[in-house]
Structure formats: structure tokens, C-alpha cells
Structure 1
């Protein structure tokens, strides 16, 4: 890593190793719900360990355990340097799974709900999350991004971002308003990452540690982990951060032990031998 921090939008300095709130309520998509108190303890410990970037969404949660409420309970009044990023766009279907998409007119309500549940007057970073669980592309996002840009002009949002997009959607959004971050599923997205790096835009991959059906190359990671006295997950996080100075990592968990392990990965600086082995 050339640096452990990133200037988000040119005015928010954050640690590149942040925290994703998706797993606070449940460890897996179909796993049991965790007690809300455990998530609150994890959030407080994360901030104690130096995490100052939390990624959440109004649709993160199950039943009565909701990530935004946990964040507010655990951390409000918020530390001055804490940046909270949220995502809007998905709407829950009849089964509660966020499978629908909000229209431009519906986005204001989603933003106002996040402001209320998080207890904020302004959201630091709001992603327009496009599509469902399928891959990106195939639709225009200009009208929806323009609706968020209006809310930014009103002072409800500080910075805008996009999630689950392809190169064409990325380019389209940038014609509407400044894009501060891109959050895509971890994959071969090197061209888009290069564009982000050149423009000073954060690139925030999700499912980089094997979630969402993407397996880790545990053999290579295991060899480096054994040599460095670390876990395979720690090496995966360190390798992710070594990819580009624009990459932000947001590993999530609902347990204190796993949190401590993840945060410790930020202190692992992989050498040329390590990175060469990981690249094969």
C-alpha cells in the first residue's frame, strides 16, 4: 500500500480499510439473525480500532435488526471524522428481498428515511445502487442519478456515488454530476478501476473475500499467509488494498474476533514476492 488513507471527494480523509454493515444482522443470506447488541458492540469496537468509513444501506437487516438503527445506537453522536456511506435504489419485494428499483421520484423518500434512521442532517456519501442481484449494464441511470444530484444541491447529500454499474453507466453518471465512488462486485474490472484511479474516484469492491458465490484462490493465499503468519482472509484484504491506492476495503462481520482479524490486515504490507505469488 502506498498510503493507508484516501481523500474521498477531495474533502473527507478516510482510512482505506473500512467496515461493511451488511453482515451485522446475519452472517449469511439465509443464516440466523444475530442479536442487535452484538452488532452494536462490533461497531463501537471498529471505531475504537480506527475505522472511520462505514458502508451501510437502509435495506441491510432482517426482521427487527436493522443496520442503520444499530449504527445510530452504537455511535451517535458521531465522531467528527466518521464517514457513513449508504445506498439507495433497491426496493423490497413481497418476500422482503430488495428486488425492485425505485423511480427517480421515490429516491427522495429513501434518502429521507436514511437520514432519519441514521440520525443525520446530511448523508456523507450516497450510492445509487442499480439493478438487483444480476450483473451491471443494460439500462440508463441518468434520470435517477439526476434526482440524487438535486438532493445534493439541496444539502441533503455531500457526495454522490454509483454501485453495480458498467463502463457506459459510469460514463453516463459523470455527465450528470460528479461521481465520488464506485462500488462494484469484485471481478475483472481493471479498466473501470484504472479510470477511477486516474480521476481520484474511490473504487469499493464488494464480495472480495469469496462472498456472493465468488470463490477465493485459497491455495495461493494460504502459501503467503503461512509465510507471513496471517490468515488467508487477512492476506486477501491486504492484497486487495495493494491493487490500487483508490481501492477501499469494507469487510463486514458481526463478531468481535473477526473484526479484530480484519482490521489487523490493514497493517500487512505485502512485498514483491508476496504479490508475485498471488498473481501467479
Structure 2
């Protein structure tokens, strides 16, 4: 399995294994994790090793992840897509609330443009639908930002299949981010809709937030041993085999772990191995845990 390109929105070719930036900020997505120089070096290493999609959000830090991306990678070049999100305000470690009024979304998008030092964001994702604001108003503002050239493609984070269907009636959706991994396939209906419509599915918690150590460990370990790989590499390779629209963006704060994750793109799983992995029991609701911020 190679890191083959996926045509985001039909016109942006992306390597299917990207890099998420939850690991370059502190626990709970709050403040710095290590030194600024270490974060910059990690981001540069990701691109040097072939990553063409950097996934982030305005509230990682807050604002810090976007600033680090610009410091490390600007000017970005034609092959690199930086995807960011708006619609959530972070007030502390693991503390946040939705803010989906049109004026909020516009303010957040324009702040991300400034921090990333760009005139247009390649993929701008609504981080959550705000239940206090009509969906049409939130999507309408994203559409206006796209018409104004501030957004190239629109994405949605954490949506149900009905929400995605409604959204597709009014705006072109290029990407979806929902939880999906070996042990959590609760978004299977969303994935099927993405496959039918050619929408990129960026699975978060792609490594299962440590659940592989608790469930399915023996089966995954056996496959990993057969390839001289790690269980995490098997989990990522399974995603790449499982559906052509799945584009994982695992994150980490470790250069060695980054290299290990990206090597999963070359892992070729056999049909019998895929059958065993496909049959693993999904994790129960809430099984992802709270320690997974580095895997987004």
C-alpha cells in the first residue's frame, strides 16, 4: 500500500497519510508541549518525509499550532495543503464550547488566514455544528467565505450521516473528519456516503487511543509480527486498505514515531490478514479515552 494521492475536492492531490498537529501543542490542546524549535523541526520533518496534508485547528494552543505551521512551512508550495478548523472556542485544557454564529465563523477564519499567512485556506472545516445556530446559517457563512476566495474547500468535523446529507444539499463538502479505526467503526454510514460522493474521510483517533492494547491486541500483534511492524503501523495500514477515501492524519510529538507512522503507507496486508482485522470487535461507546489528543 503506497501513500497514493487522493483528489481532495477533485482538484487537490493529497498523499493519503497526512500529519495531525495535536501532538505539537500541550495536553488538552492547551499551550506548548515542548520547545518551539522542536515543534518546528517536527513539522518540517513531516513534509520532508512526503506529507502533503497538515491537519490542524484554530483552537489547538489556542492559535499556537497554526503559528508553528507558518513558522515551519511558509511559504507552503503547491503540493502542501494546510487544513484548519473553526467553530470551537477553547477555554482551557480539554475545555471548549461551540461558536457557530456566522460572525464567529468569519472572525475565526480570518484569524486563521492571518496566523497561517495565506490569502486562501485549502481546506476549512467546521469543527462542530453549533446546536444553538441553524445549520443553514453555519453552512451559508462557509459558502460565502468560499465565494470570497478565503476558503478553497469546505470540510465538516464530527457529523452524522443525516447532517452530511443535509449539508450536501447546500454546499460542496470535500472532506469529513469523524472517529474511525480498527476498533471504532461507528461512522460506517458516514464513510459509505463519503465513498459514494468522492469525499475525503479524515479519521480521527486512527490508532484507537490505546484501545489496541486492550482489545484485539493478539490479532494485531500477530499481523505486526509477520511484517516486522508495530501494531500502530498495522492499524494505519488497515485504514489505507479499508477504503480509498480514508486519509488518516496521525499526530505525534516524536520524530521517531512520525517516521514509524509514515512507514505504514508501504505496509501491504494480505487478504487473510485483512479478514482477521475486519472481524475485530469494535470498542464500546466512550472507549476511545481522553488521552488521544496527539492522534488527531
TM-score (normalised: structure 1): 0.90
Give 5+ residue unaligned stretches, structure 1.
Answer: none
Query: Does the CA contact (< 8 Å) of 1:27 and 1:253 recur in 2?
Result: no
Alignment correspondent of 1:110: 108
**Aligned-partner SS, 1:81:** coil
Segment of structure 1 superposing worse, 256-265 or 211-220 = 211-220
Write out per-residue CA displacement over residues 135-168 of structure 1, whole angstroms, 9 at most, x where no aligned residue: xx99852210111100100000000011111011
| Matched residue, 1:22 | 22
Write out per-residue CA displacement over residues 52-74 of structure 1, whole angstroms, 9 at most, x where no aligned residue.
Answer: 00000111126xx8111110111
Match of 1:258 in 2: 257
Task: Report if aligned partners of 1:93, 1:100 keep a CA contact under 8 Å in 2.
Answer: no
**Alignment gaps of 5+ in structure 2:** 280-296
Determine which of 185, 191, 196 is the counterpart of 2:189.
Answer: 191
Residues 109/216 of structure 1: CA separation in 2 closer, same or farther (3 Å cut): farther
Deviation, 1:44, is 0.5
Cα separation, partners in 2 of 1:78 and 1:34, compared to 1, 3 Å: same
User: Which of 139, 145, 156 lines up with 1:151 in the alignment?
Assistant: 145
Task: Please give the per-residue CA displacement for 1:25-51, whole angstroms capped at 9, x wherever unaligned.
Answer: 136668982222111111101111100
On the 8 A contact 1:54/1:83 being kept in 2, the answer is: yes
Aligned counterpart, 2:208? 210
SS in 2 for 1:69: helix
CA distance in 2, matches of 1:33, 1:161: 27
User: TM-score under structure 2 normalisation?
Assistant: 0.86
Question: SS of 1:169's equivalent?
Answer: helix
Which residue of the partner structure matches residue 124 of structure 1?
A: 122
- Aligned counterpart, 2:230: 231
Shift of 1:211: 2.4
- Which deviates more, 100-109 or 235-244? 100-109
Does residue 272 of structure 2 align to residue 278 of structure 1?
no
Q: In 2, Cα distance between the equivalents of 1:226 and 1:140? A: 50
Q: Is the 8 A contact 1:38 1:255 kept in 2?
A: no
Q: For residues 272 and 68 of structure 1, do their structure 2 counterparts lie closer, same or farther at Cα, with a shift above 3 Å needed?
A: same
Determine the C-alpha separation between the residues in 2 that align with 1:76 and 1:210: 32
2:100/2:129 contact within 8 Å kept: no
Displacement, 1:98? 2.2
Name 1:182's counterpart in structure 2.
176
- 8 Å CA contact 1:26–1:254 kept in 2: the answer is no
- 1:82 is aligned, of 80, 83, 100, to 80
Do 1:164 and 1:185's aligned partners in 2 also have CA atoms closer than 8 Å?
yes
Distance 1:216 1:250 in 2: 22
- Counterparts in 2 of 1:5 and 1:216: CA distance versus 1, 3 Å: farther
